Amino acid sequence: MTVERTLAGDKQDISEYSLGREVFDRKRNYDPRIDSIVRVEARRLRNKLNQYYGDGGARDPVVIEFPQGSYVPGFRYAAPAASPAPELNPRTVAVLPFLNISTDPDQDYFCDGITEEILDALTGVPELNVVARTSVFHFKGASADVREIGALLGAGTVIEGSVRKADQSLRISVNLIDASTGLMRWSGNFDRELADIFTLQSEIARAIAEALRVTISPAHPPPRNVEAYSFYLKGRYYWNQQSQAGIQRALQQFTRAIALNPDYAPPYAALADAYGHLATWGAVPPGEGAARAREAVLTALRLDDRLADASATLGGILALFEWRWAEGETLFRRALELQPSNVHAMEIFAMALLCQARFEEGRAMIEKAQQLDPLSSRGTRVKALLHYYRHQYDEAIVILQRNAPLDATSHEDQVMIGWNYTRQDRCDQAIAVLEKLPEGPFLPMKLGGLGEAYACAGRREEAQAALRELNALASTQYIPLRSFVHIYAGLGDWDRVFSDFEKSFEEHAPWLSTVMVDPRYDAIRNDPRFVDLLRRMGLQ
């Protein structure tokens, strides 16, 4: 409760008196000076947390702690253990965001792009484990010691650099550091004209590979147009904001890049990924999003069939939108063959495995992805889904609550916490979490979870009110049927559930891929209509 309230901005309401009343069911005349239940249990909780972080939670990236004299939790990144010192593999590499030392702060997108291009090149080296972008970019602008960063990310080698751009001139400085000792193993300065940026990036990647004594794959065909490349980098910059507004801006930049350089493959692959995410989030109808994504990704692969991200995206479309599971798996494996450290491919592959109830294979893929991207909130949500699908609700809730400090602006974690509480018949707790969520892009998802919790709590009129609000929204925008289905399932209106299943099947809604493993449908597993649906989706 205290974690949820703090994350929701209500920590001022957390006190010994309020905890005594709400958690330990003390009456209105409860006096904390006489009844020490809260202080006693707080001491026990602090001891339990210390034991947990000293044992099973020793590798957790974020630590939850309760300072002495306070009942408001604090969150911090875990510090590396002082003793014994972690043994770091020098073949595990973290490329930190290159520093923009240009006079123009708007060149951040350019520096981020160079970092990503080097990351992308190293990700294809089989002998290396390359920490993913999500985790390394947590340290953008930070002044942390590289030894601490290496220990936190499990990386024995840390690469850092800087970019100075003045008119058409570039200077890029790169340092390769042993994260165990903090000593520099190699450094280089590169001076070129902006027109030579593609040759320069390949030269830097090769120099780093030589310093690590590995061989790098041949570079992808470069764009012919520097301005088109600039638009592509801006698109990646907006895309990495992981918001619907950011994706819409990214789409504009990718489209401009394609218009200037129509035979350059990466913007097509990025465009496909963006449309796929919009369709998955329910921001656009799945048929429209999948069609646009498919067209773009096929173009990308026609121009460059060695783009791992494009193979992974097409695999996701085939598996999660079209239920062509074997073809999707072939593409996921192709992506990981091209880039063994490609976390994007691992996460989509893991999700496809979970949908097929291949839980142990999914777990292995999730763990591999988390080793390379330990600070990824998205990857952590996939891990929470594994536990949810396996009816391990307490484990899922703990994971999602720990995830919140990594992704403080995301409300998806809270919606998923609500799902888990509802499955446990802790409906009042689910409602308390979900009611606090603000309106915004996740409003339909919130209403679906809230209406379901109301229904399971016996508050049917409030569940019907959530349905009416969803219908009002659906009159002006696309609303995924998933939100309606969750409420109908809570109400036990299975005929309406099956009706919406059929509509979702016709529009190839990606959320339908989870029906075989989603525990909210346990009551209808033996219904012939459900068995037939799974058969048609290749999920028997």
Task: Go through 186-216 and write b for each residue having 16 or more CB atoms within 10 A of its CB, e for each that does not.
Answer: beeebebebeebbebbbbbbebbbebbeeeb
DSSP tag of 457 = T
Q: Tokens in use for 70? A: 């306070």
pLDDT of 83 reads: 45
Choice among 59-63, 85-89, 94-98, 514-518 with the minimum mean pLDDT: 59-63
Question: Maximum Cα–Cα distance for the chain, whole Å?
Answer: 77
Query: Residue 80 CB: number of other CB atoms within 10 A?
Result: 17
Could you list the beta-strand ranges (E) of 15-145. 62-65, 74-77, 92-95, 99-100, 129-130
pTM for the complete prediction?
Answer: 0.81
Cα 464 from chain centroid (whole Å): 32
* The pLDDT of residue 377 is above 70: yes
- What's the pLDDT tens digit per position in 528-538? 999 999 999 99
Of residues 159 and 68, the one with the higher pLDDT is 159
pLDDT of 499 reads: 98
Sequence-distant (6+) residues with CB within 8 A of 448 are 466, 470, 482, 483, 484, 485, 486, 487
Mean of the per-residue pLDDT values for the chain?
Answer: 89
* The pLDDT of residue 163 is above 50: yes
- What's the pLDDT tens digit per position in 404-427? 665 555 688 899 999 999 999 999
* The pLDDT of residue 228 is above 60: yes
* The pLDDT of residue 22 is above 80: no
**Quick one: average pLDDT of 328-344?**
97
The stretches of 154-263 forming alpha helices (DSSP H) are 197-212, 226-239, 244-260
**Quick one: average pLDDT of 380-394?**
96
Q: How confident is the model at residue 234 (pLDDT cuts 50, 70, 90)?
A: very high
pLDDT of 104 reads: 75
Q: Position of tokens 């979900």? A: 434
Of residues 411 and 249, the one with the higher pLDDT is 249
**Quick one: average pLDDT of 458-474?**
96
- What's the pLDDT tens digit per position in 164-188? 988 888 899 999 999 999 999 999 9
pLDDT of 532 reads: 98
pLDDT of 388 reads: 98
Report d(CA 125, CA 373) in Å as an integer: 17
pLDDT of 445 reads: 92
- What's the pLDDT tens digit per position in 303-331? 999 999 999 999 999 999 999 999 999 99
* The pLDDT of residue 84 is above 70: no
Relative orientation angle of helices 377-389 and 393-403, to the nearest 10 degrees: 170
pLDDT of 7 reads: 54
Q: Are the C-beta atoms of residues 166 and 149 closer than 8 Å to each other?
A: no
Report d(CA 270, CA 238) in Å as an integer: 11
Q: Are the C-beta atoms of residues 251 and 278 closer than 8 Å to each other?
A: no
pLDDT of 217 reads: 84
pLDDT of 81 reads: 47
Of residues 409 and 216, the one with the higher pLDDT is 216
Q: Tokens in use for 458? A: 């016996």
pLDDT of 5 reads: 63
* The pLDDT of residue 105 is above 90: no
Choice among 13-22, 231-240, 499-508 with the minimum mean pLDDT: 13-22
Bridge partners of 62? Answer: 77
pLDDT of 59 reads: 63
Q: How confident is the model at residue 220 (pLDDT cuts 50, 70, 90)?
A: confident
Q: How confident is the model at residue 82 (pLDDT cuts 50, 70, 90)?
A: very low
- What's the pLDDT tens digit per position in 42-79? 777 777 777 676 666 666 667 787 766 677 777 665 65
Q: Are the C-beta atoms of residues 449 and 471 closer than 8 Å to each other?
A: no
* The pLDDT of residue 402 is above 80: yes
Q: Are the C-beta atoms of residues 374 and 406 closer than 8 Å to each other?
A: no
| Residue in 426, 387, 353, 44 with CA at minimum distance from that of residue 400 | 387
* The pLDDT of residue 296 is above 80: yes
Q: Are the C-beta atoms of residues 491 and 523 closer than 8 Å to each other?
A: no
pLDDT of 513 reads: 97
Listed ranges 10-14, 34-38, 73-77, 379-383; the one with the highest mean pLDDT: 379-383
Report d(CA 78, CA 59) in Å as an integer: 8
